[in-house]
Amino acid sequence: MSQPSKEASLYYLRQTIDLAKQSLPKPTNFRVGCVIVNFSDVDAPQVLSTGFTLELPGNTHAEQCALSKLAAKHSLPEEAIPTCLPPQFNATLYTSLEPCGKRLSGNLPCVQRIIATQTDNPNGGIKKVVFGAKEPGTFVQDSQSCRLLTEAGIAWEYLPDFEQEILQVAMEGHVKDPKDVSASTKDELKSKEEKDKLNELSAKQQEQARAEAAPRNPKKRMMDTTLE
Ligand code: HJL
Ligand code: ZN
For the segment 116-130, what is each residue's pLDDT rounded down to a tens digit? 999 999 999 999 999
| 89 CB-near residues (< 8 Å, 6+ apart) | 38, 40, 48, 124, 127
- What pLDDT shows up at residue 184? 44
- What pLDDT shows up at residue 194? 53
- What pLDDT shows up at residue 186? 47
Q: Which residues line ligand 1 (CB under 6 A)?
A: 28-30, 32, 53, 59, 61-63, 95, 97, 99-100, 103-105, 107, 110, 139-140
Compute the distance from residue 100 Cα to the ligand 2 centre, in Å: 4
Confidence of residue 198 (pLDDT cuts 50, 70, 90): very low
| 25 CB-near residues (< 8 Å, 6+ apart) | 31, 172, 173, 174
Confidence of residue 207 (pLDDT cuts 50, 70, 90): low
Q: Which of 21, 100, 146, 166 has the most ligand 1 atoms within 8 A of CB, as the residue to mutate?
A: 100
Confidence of residue 49 (pLDDT cuts 50, 70, 90): very high
Confidence of residue 88 (pLDDT cuts 50, 70, 90): very high
Is residue 13 within 8 Å of residue 162, measured between CB atoms? yes
Average pLDDT over residues 34-48: 97
Nearest to 81 by CA among 64, 97, 56: 64
Q: What is the mean pLDDT of the chain?
A: 86
Exposed, middle or buried by CB within 10 Å (0-12, 13-18, 19+), for 141? exposed
| 101 CB-near residues (< 8 Å, 6+ apart) | 109, 111, 135, 140, 143, 144, 145, 148
User: Residue 228 pLDDT more than 50?
Assistant: no
User: Residue 191 pLDDT more than 90?
Assistant: no
- What pLDDT shows up at residue 223? 44
Confidence of residue 197 (pLDDT cuts 50, 70, 90): low
Label each residue of the chain as H, E or C: CCCCCHHHHHHHHHHHHHHHCCCCCCCCCCCCEEEEEECCCCCCCEEEEEEECCCCCCCCCHHHHHHHHHHHHCCCCHHHHHHHCCCCCCEEEEECCCCCCCCCCCCCCHHHHHHHHHCCCCCCCEEEEEECCCCCCCCCCCCCHHHHHHHCCCEEEECHHHHHHHHHHHCCCCCCCHHHCCHHHHHHHHHHHHHHHHHHHHHHHHHHHHHHHCCCCHHHHHHHHHHC
- What pLDDT shows up at residue 219? 45
